[in-house]
A = this chain, B = another copy of it.
């Protein structure tokens, strides 16, 4: 090594985890001729004091190889099915913590992609599907100190309203040039992650029903709230989600303000009453917030190493 270590410098291993990321699992249920498809990207990562040897000395005797984690994902998809990403991640978490006494916990994450049946003569085909938009489903299961935390979520849910959005009343500072507006386009790409109440998880949750309800009310609120700020819309979306589903403890949002600027056509003698816009890429506003059910205890472990907002 080319650098002389400073005398007396000593270091230790801090937070860590390891595993296999983005296992692209496609699970076909073909019990009948009418197939079902589940399409996910699954990341499995393990934690445990006993794993330190791999970092400190290259001792792999407790390292459940990332390749083994990958094989496990696909094998358990066969033996247990998927059902919902939250359910399948829970099965994975139980498998690893039960099978290896030195695996103390970990983080399992999923994205799920949505497919619809292709319409043929107006009916959904038995085994042919088309990928749809409308957002990618998210889930995570985290095991820390014997507790299991479950989140659901959605990302890339892109929405726009062409009116019903204002932005006024902000401080006019030395560097403020933005004119106030009582009618603008508001557009965002919603990332939301909701944490399930531990009691609800223990009692059993219909995760697919919750996902459907939450995404539905998020869209509805975005539509019906007359917006004074993207912050306000965010809060009303979160409030409605928690009101709708008693299983939810809290919901986090990251909502970029995807700017659409009214194009200045007055230079060409044309008026432009909110008809012609240029969509801009960067920079963008970035509004992040959490809505929490009153009386619910916080759970920082649930969010450990889960992307903070986005």
Contact = CB atoms under 8 A, between A and B. Distances in A.
A240 to B, nearest CB: 6
A224 B120 CA distance: 8
Contact of A28 (B56, B174, B275): B275
A130 interface: yes
A118 B13 contact: no
Contacts of A51: 231
A30 B70 contact: no
Nearest to A68: B176
Contacts of A211: none
Copies of this chain, how many? Answer: 4
Interface string A19-39: 111111111111000010101
User: Which 6 residue pairs of A and B lie closest in terms of their CB atoms, listed nearest first?
Assistant: A58-B228, A133-B133, A14-B290, A128-B223, A16-B289, A131-B158
Given A55-B231, A169-B59, A284-B20, A14 B243 contact: no
Contacts of A71: 175-177, 267-268
Interface string A88-129: 000000000001100000000000001100111100010111
Interface string A205-242: 00000000000110111111001110110110011101
A24 B280 contact: yes
A260 to B, nearest CB: 6
Nearest to A179: B67
A86 interface: no
A6 B246 contact: yes
A18 to B, nearest CB: 5
Given A134-B132, A279-B24, A294-B10, A64 B173 contact: yes
A114 B168 CA distance: 30
B243 A120 contact: no
